[in-house]
Structure 1
């Protein structure tokens, strides 16, 4: 992080740039991702192999079709907002369209349940981007994407609580929960459907496994990059 204490950057972290025009000029970016947009919109750390001096990032615009993968020099990181920070800031409480957006309505309802369960959780996807940046990319059909970080296997009662949230209530936005382990991340909905076997997303590619905390042939961590 530019001018700040070093920290590990992880997938789903949001990054603001030190010099948007320089980044735009050095990369072949789509027309919607110009320097003016990059001065406002954060980049999202994506899961990929570690590359010396560069962070794997994704750029997003205002629509689902506007996505672009790139590599960001570490010295370009001005500010970092993590999914957990977004959850703790709880800006959905005063968002001007909170009552019109099911993703924010359901977030307001499930946040206290996740806090009461003492989970390390955060907000990702369009809701996380909107709440962190102030750029509203949500619409009434937007999903709510959540991240739960668990260094050890979830207790059965905790996993049942999370799976129950996936079912939701009539009129709710669809909730997707990704569980991050020291080896990668998996979709809780898939684990609930299969009874355990999941496709674990790692920095070295996907791994099909029964135990996403101890998968075969995967490094013990998948930190994307360490910021300066």
Structure 2
């Protein structure tokens, strides 16, 4: 199986077996797990289990869990969600600002040339067909940047953040982990980097020898 990355969506092979493996909240029942994918999160396990998060229909319904690789029936990445462009066909596209904004967002990010994907509630809804969106839904994105972003690209991303009535939350994924674009723009330097070993403060999220990383 191709190594999974944070934000990948995983559908279960056997929801009943997953339920039997550990205590889960009442809302995460077999019916829900048969249709709703799990979200890969950042963590590590010496036995090879996959760190996942279960999300329900409501914002407060979130639960961290572990998944054995043989329980993965199918996987969809944020990049695949972006490439599919299913927001253009969504039945509520005209009434949901987040879906209306995605055409412009996709066009601008395409010009920059980075690999990028849709995460969060929008990604979950587009990949699963489960409509958890509302008029105030944000757009969560991940941009893969193996090398530091040049100033012109940072300026273009900053302009993109300001261009919509919808809030864009962009995570920049580096080989070390991921950080919030807004934080980097605010500080001009040190950011909190989410890694598999936990969050760390880092001046250069691309530098393996960065202090504290």
Do they fold alike, i.e. is TM over 0.5?
Answer: yes
Report the TM-score when normalising by structure 1.
0.90
Q: Is the 8 A contact 1:16 1:42 kept in 2?
A: yes
Match of 2:184 in 1: 191
1:75-97, CA deviations, whole angstroms, 9 ceiling, x for partnerless residues?
10010100000000000011000
Distance 1:157 1:50 in 2: 39
Query: How far does residue 141 in structure 1 lie from its aligned partner after superposition?
Result: 0.6
- Equivalent residues, number: 211
- Unaligned 5+ runs, structure 2: none
Query: How far does residue 44 in structure 1 lie from its aligned partner after superposition?
Result: 0.2
Aligned-partner SS, 2:140:
strand
Q: How does 1:122-201 map to 2 (within 5 A)?
A: 122-169=117-164, 172-201=165-194
Aligned-partner SS, 1:164:
helix
> Structure 1 residue runs of 4+, over 4 Å off?
none
Aligned-partner SS, 1:80:
strand
Q: Is the 8 A contact 1:50 1:203 kept in 2?
A: no
Structure 2 residue aligned with 1:70, among 54, 60, 65?
Answer: 65
1:212 paired with 2:205, answer yes
Match of 1:120 in 2: 115
Larger RCO, structure (CA 8 Å, separation 6 or more): 1
Distance 2:189 2:156 in 1: 16
Query: How far does residue 217 in structure 1 lie from its aligned partner after superposition?
Result: 5.2
Query: How far does residue 177 in structure 1 lie from its aligned partner after superposition?
Result: 0.4
Root-mean-square deviation over aligned CA pairs: 1.1
Larger mean Cα displacement after TM superposition, 25-34 or 184-193: 25-34
